Amino acid sequence: MPILVIIPTDGELNELIHALESRGYVLKPTADAKLRKYQVPSLGITFALGGLGKVQFAVQTQYLLGSDTWRLVICAGAAGALTDDIAIGDVVVATETVEHDIRKVGRPLIPRFIGDNATVALCRARLPMLAGFRVHFGGIASGDEDIVDTQRRQECRIATGALAVAWEGAGGARACAFNQVPFMEIRGIVDKADQFGPRDFTFNIRTAMQNVAATVGAIAGERSNKII
């Protein structure tokens, strides 16, 4: 059964396509009336557009889940770092996706969705072979909020314990849990979730998605001498 990699936005998907093509892969567009989809048969992966925000990502993930029998779904994109020891261009492999923006009288709810244990273990074994960036394992916070100041960054870190923050992961995690399909999230770091975030995203998205592409390739069994 193939792997489905869902990328939130056109910009992130374009950079991922560029990274794969620069590695020698030919992406075959797949006919679909609603979404951009591409296949890389040699990797056994389909790449598809997921949409901005948790709800849209969940809707499009649910739609994509009906198109094949997938052995794994990956949400892959960009994120902001919630800790100072994670550098721009590093990759975070989520041991859990943590939904941080559900507000309830009294206290916020913090739902947690565990990343596929077998794939996380595979990443721990294979990803040290990657060169040029570090791979971190931990939570990725998910919520429809741009975190672009140091106070909110600290609040999110304390509330979730996550290493990075992005938008869409919880939507994909919920759709996959409903369908009993293994799920995990992988994010390349583009900013520090501070006031420079919007600028840094633009500057760093290509590097981050290149490293995400290398990480996804390692999961799919790409030879180590091709990912260095």
99-130 pLDDT, tens digit per residue, is: 999 987 767 889 999 999 999 999 998 887 66
Beta strands at 3-7 and 45-49: parallel, antiparallel or unpaired: parallel
What's 208's DSSP letter? Answer: H
197-222 pLDDT, tens digit per residue, is: 889 999 999 999 999 999 998 888 75
Q: What is the pLDDT of residue 224?
A: 33
Q: What share of the chain has pLDDT > 90, as a percent?
A: 81
For range 6-10, the mean pLDDT: 98
Token pair listed for 223:
């030879």
CATH topology of domain 3-227: Rossmann fold (3.40.50)
For residue 86, pLDDT beyond 90 = yes
In the predicted model, what is the mean pLDDT of the chain?
A: 92
Q: What share of the chain has pLDDT > 70, as a percent?
A: 95
Full-model pTM: 0.93
For residue 95, pLDDT beyond 50 = yes
Q: What is the residue extent of each domain of the chain?
A: 3-227
